Structure 1
């Protein structure tokens, strides 16, 4: 069986804050986030495609122009009155978002009947700072 790796880079704009952080990131602020995803899988016999790049773009796009807050953040309920809020099970750090986005991509691929899975993901919250997760698949 042949495994192939593909790569996709996607950008999104979003606001977040870290309620457990001592410093300026405790305040609501925004970033242009950059997500790099490496996917491994078996190319489809008919199309030759491991996973449609648009699938990755669609998953990451769910975060574009959103407010992302810890579900325990009291600000979430206030903002929700005016704008949808994406809540996370912890502070929405680049580390947490890397894991969340990877899980979402894997779930979408499985839903499409593909064996494609995230092998590596980087979530950049600035031009000089990113979190990276790598996965070893059996």
Structure 2
């Protein structure tokens, strides 16, 4: 049976925007919220589309981490003391939405499941988020 489901996950992480002039140029933290809508066919035996904990596991990769642009000169210095997750560009909510969407879809593709992320929202604050929709690819 084809079905659509929703999962919300939060994580805490710091970042900075290397190419932005303003407050977000400084290293700072957020309580990020990720909302994911998935669709696909349920497993015939279990009637489950996905285990909600699998979505959490993908998002938890970022929890309590420092996320920086791979070109950021702070990366090597911080790595002397703490792990750094690097991104191909400034770690904005827009970029994190794409990276998390791709990681979720790859996880299921690698297991032979055809699961699509219909919509993903990454909230950087309670009043601002980035949204990607499958039909906008």
Quote the offset at 1:136 in angstroms. 2.8
Larger displacement relative to structure 2 (107-116 or 64-73): 107-116
SS at match of 2:63: coil
Tell me the equivalent position of 2:7: 8
Tell me the equivalent position of 1:58: 57
Quote the offset at 1:114 in angstroms. 1.5
Q: Pairwise CA RMSD of aligned residues?
A: 1.1
Quote the offset at 1:113 in angstroms. 2.2
Where do 1:1-138 residues align within 5 Å?
A: 2-136=1-135
SS at match of 1:122: strand
Does the Cα contact within 8 Å between 1:50 and 1:114 map onto a contact in 2? no
Quote the offset at 1:58 in angstroms. 0.2
> In 1, Cα distance between the equivalents of 2:37 and 2:71?
31
> In 2, Cα distance between the equivalents of 1:55 and 1:115?
15
> In 2, Cα distance between the equivalents of 1:37 and 1:119?
8
Does the Cα contact within 8 Å between 1:51 and 1:114 map onto a contact in 2? no
1:24-67 deviations in whole A, cap 9, x for unaligned?
00000000000000001100101111111111000000000000
Quote the offset at 1:111 in angstroms. 1.9
> In 1, Cα distance between the equivalents of 2:129 and 2:85?
20
User: What count of residue pairs does the alignment treat as equivalent?
Assistant: 136
Structure 1: runs of 5 or more not aligned: none
> In 1, Cα distance between the equivalents of 2:56 and 2:120?
13
1:88-133 deviations in whole A, cap 9, x for unaligned?
0000000000000000000111122211121100000000000000
